[in-house]
């Protein structure tokens, strides 16, 4: 039964508390289920006029997000299998290979069982900001150094340039430039390390399928709201967040309107900095668990809610608020990429 609370911070705190109580109290034969409305960073803001809120309509259908507190290969497999989804054809596993020397990318020993269980190929695209992964040869070397080529085949999708996907019903972009080899794969598993980000506020599933799957040219277009094909700098922040939503929708639409793509997000090493930062800030939040969903908006919203309710989240909340990061979720829901209303199912209970 859904409980309405108008104080956004209190919603997040109660949601996290309910989940933790469920973990402690539920028997092995039960599943703890929590239905949550979207919450926002607990910034001071005036009360909405005329009783209007930014939450979805009460009739919005809740997407299911599965949760486990076990950040282990077994926990990752279990939460993925809870989706009841079977990939078809060539399977890509999208992740961040991580900027050296010290980023918090998902370690191969955590993800190997899942990748190998679907005979997946790890895929990634080159960066547009320099660093050690902006050139294909260097990027393959980083992937090898970080252990990814030891567990599966790996391909840099944009090593041969770009292909375009149409953006249907988008806010900013009319087309999205992804790696030229994107269409070589029939199904995608999106493995995301959830954390903060110095430009987007936070990085999760939507960022992974927008910026993450974009070619270098596509990254520039997303960052600048469609203004530049060659530089990622100088764009408007709102246009950037809306362009991420647009790009993500183009990917989901191409993959059978979401039928051939699923999302798994690991909430560990939760720094305010992204895995594109080779020297990120130390995490302030203790590890939380792993989420899985067929809805990229719902899984990002659930990750935000869990992180914001956790002790030590003040720096992450400030970063997301400063960069208007939650607008990505608002824009994504508005154009139909997914729902910010979700049902959190604890598979450990």
Domain that holds residue 265: 74-346
Name the percent of the chain lying above pLDDT 90. 80
Range in 4-18, 92-106, 280-294, 320-334 the model is least confident about: 4-18
154 in Cβ contact with 226 (< 8 Å): no
| Residue 83 included in any domain | yes
| Residue 78 included in any domain | yes
| pLDDT of res. 274 | 87
Between residues 25 and 139, the one the model is more confident about? 139
Counting the structural domains of the chain, the total is 1
Q: How many CA atoms are closer than 13 Å to the CA of 253, on its beta-carbon side? A: 20
| Residue 21 included in any domain | no
| pLDDT of res. 31 | 41
| pLDDT of res. 44 | 38
Q: How many CA atoms are closer than 13 Å to the CA of 278, on its beta-carbon side? A: 10
Is the pLDDT reported for residue 48 higher than 60? no
| Residue 39 included in any domain | no
Alpha-carbon span 193 to 190, nearest angstrom:
10
| Residue 2 included in any domain | no
- The enclosing domain of 128 has a CATH number of 3.40.50.11440
Please write the tens of the pLDDT for every residue from 300-312: 999 999 999 999 9
| pLDDT of res. 36 | 66
| Residue 174 included in any domain | yes
34 in Cβ contact with 341 (< 8 Å): no
| Residue 258 included in any domain | yes
For residue 241, what is the DSSP state?
A: H
Is the pLDDT reported for residue 30 higher than 50? no
| Residue 256 included in any domain | yes
């Amino acid at each position: 039964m859904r409980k309405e609370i108008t104080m956004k911070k209190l919603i997040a705190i109660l949601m996290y508390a309910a989940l933790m109580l469920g973990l402690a109290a539920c028997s092995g034969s039960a599943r703890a289920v929590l239905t949550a409305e979207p919450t926002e960073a607990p910034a001071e803001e005036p009360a909405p006029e005329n009783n209007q809120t930014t939450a979805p309509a009460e009739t919005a259908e809740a997407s299911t997000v599965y949760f486990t507190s076990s950040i282990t290969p077994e926990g990752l497999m279990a939460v993925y299998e809870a989706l009841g989804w079977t990939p078809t054809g060539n399977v890509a596993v999208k992740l961040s290979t991580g900027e050296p020397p010290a980023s918090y990318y998902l370690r191969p020993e955590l993800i190997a069982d899942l990748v190998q269980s679907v005979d997946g190929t790890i895929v990634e695209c080159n960066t547009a900001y320099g660093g050690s992964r902006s050139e294909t040869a260097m990027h393959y070397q980083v992937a090898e150094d970080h252990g990814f080529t030891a567990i599966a085949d790996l391909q840099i999708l944009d090593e041969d340039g770009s292909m375009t996907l149409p953006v249907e019903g988008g806010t900013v972009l009319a087309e999205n430039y992804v790696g030229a080899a994107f269409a070589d794969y029939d199904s995608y598993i999106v493995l995301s390390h959830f954390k903060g980000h110095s430009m987007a506020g936070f990085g999760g599933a939507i960022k992974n399928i927008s910026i993450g799957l974009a070619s270098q040219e596509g990254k520039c277009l997303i960052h600048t709201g469609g203004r530049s094909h060659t530089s990622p700098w100088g764009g408007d922040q709102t246009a950037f967040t809306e362009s991420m939503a647009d790009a993500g929708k183009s990917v989901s639409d191409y993959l059978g309107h979401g039928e051939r793509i699923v999302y798994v997000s690991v909430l560990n090493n939760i720094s305010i900095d992204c895995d594109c930062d080779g020297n990120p800030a130390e995490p302030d939040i203790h590890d939380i668990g792993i989420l899985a969903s067929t809805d990229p908006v719902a899984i990002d919203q659930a990750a935000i809610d869990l992180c914001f309710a956790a002790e030590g989240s003040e720096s992450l909340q400030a970063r997301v608020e400063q960069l208007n990061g939650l607008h990505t979720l608002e824009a994504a829901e508005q154009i139909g990429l997914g729902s910010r209303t979700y049902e959190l199912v604890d598979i450990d209970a």
